[in-house]
Structure 1
Amino acid sequence: MKKRAPMDLGNGVFLIDGFDMGFEGRTGAYVLLGDRITLVETGPSPSVPKVLAGLDDLNVPSEKVEFIILTHIHLDHAGGVGLLLKECPNAKVIVHEKGKRHLADPSRLIEGAKAVYGQDFEELFDPILAVPEDKLYTKADGDTLTISKKRQLTFYDTPGHAKHHLGIHDSWSNGIFTGDTAGIRYHQTTDYGLTFYLPTTSPNQFDPDAMLQCIRRFRDMKPSCLYFGHFGKTEYPDQTFDQIMIWIPIFVKEAEEALKRDEGPRGIQQRLYKHVASYLDEKGVPRDHEIYDLLNLDFEVCSMGLSDYMKKKSRA
Structure 2
Amino acid sequence: MAEVRYQDLDYGITVIDAEFHRPGVAASYLVVERGRAAFVETGTSLSVPGQLAVLEKKGIPRESVDYVIPTHVHLDHAGGAGELMRHLPAARLVIHPRGARHMIDPSRLIAGAAAVYGEEAIRRHYGEVVPVPAERVMEAGEGDEVDLNGRTLRFLDTPGHALHHFCVVDEAGRGIFTGDTFGISYREFDNEQGAWIFPTTTPVQFDPPALHASIDRLVAQGLDYMYLTHYGRVGGVDRLRRLLHEQIDGMVALGREHAAAGARRKERLIGGLMEQMLAQLERHGCTLPVSRRRELLTMDVELNVQGLEIWLDREAKTAASA
Report the TM-score when normalising by structure 1. Answer: 0.94
Secondary structure in 2 aligned to 1:167? strand
Match of 1:31 in 2: 30
CA distance in 2, matches of 1:173, 1:252: 34
Secondary structure in 2 aligned to 1:48? helix
CA distance in 2, matches of 1:198, 1:137: 31
CA distance in 2, matches of 1:51, 1:206: 30
Secondary structure in 1 aligned to 2:63? helix
Moved more, 46-55 or 136-145: 46-55
Query: Contact 1:181–1:215 at 8 Å: present in 2 too?
Result: yes
Matching of residues 180-259 of structure 1 within 5 Å = 180-190=180-190, 195-259=195-259
The amino acid across from 1:168 in the alignment is V
Match of 1:280 in 2: 281
The amino acid across from 1:167 in the alignment is C
What CA deviation, in whole Å up to 9, does each residue of 1:32-89 have, x standing for no partner? 1014311100001111112112222222222321100111000000000111111112
CA distance in 2, matches of 1:211, 1:258: 22
What CA deviation, in whole Å up to 9, does each residue of 1:197-249 have, x standing for no partner? 00000111110100000111112111111101111001211122111111001
The amino acid across from 1:9 in the alignment is L
Report the TM-score when normalising by structure 2. Answer: 0.93
Match of 1:147 in 2: 148
CA distance in 2, matches of 1:141, 1:164: 11
CA distance in 2, matches of 1:100, 1:293: 35
Query: Contact 1:94–1:137 at 8 Å: present in 2 too?
Result: yes
The amino acid across from 1:296 in the alignment is T
Cα distance, 1:194 vs structure 2: 5.3
Give the RMSD, CA atoms, in angstroms: 1.6
Match of 1:265 in 2: 266
What CA deviation, in whole Å up to 9, does each residue of 1:158-185 have, x standing for no partner? 0000000011111212211111011011
Q: Does 1:307 align with 2:306?
A: no
Moved more, 50-59 or 154-163: 50-59
Match of 1:293 in 2: 295
CA distance in 2, matches of 1:52, 1:138: 24
Identity across the alignment (%)? 34
Secondary structure in 1 aligned to 2:209? helix
Query: Contact 1:6–1:57 at 8 Å: present in 2 too?
Result: no
Q: Does 1:123 align with 2:130?
A: no
Which ranges in structure 2 are unaligned for 5 or more consecutive residues? none
Query: Contact 1:5–1:54 at 8 Å: present in 2 too?
Result: no
Secondary structure in 2 aligned to 1:260? coil
Matching of residues 20-99 of structure 1 within 5 Å = 20-21=20-21, 23-35=22-34, 36-99=36-99
Cα distance, 1:97 vs structure 2: 0.3
Secondary structure in 2 aligned to 1:184? coil
Match of 2:136 in 1: 135
Which ranges in structure 1 are unaligned for 5 or more consecutive residues? none
What CA deviation, in whole Å up to 9, does each residue of 1:12-48 have, x standing for no partner? 1111111111x11111110110143111000011111
CA distance in 2, matches of 1:112, 1:175: 32
Secondary structure in 1 aligned to 2:290? coil
Matching of residues 101-116 of structure 1 within 5 Å = 101-116=101-116
CA distance in 2, matches of 1:266, 1:58: 48
Aligned residue pairs total: 313
Cα distance, 1:106 vs structure 2: 0.6
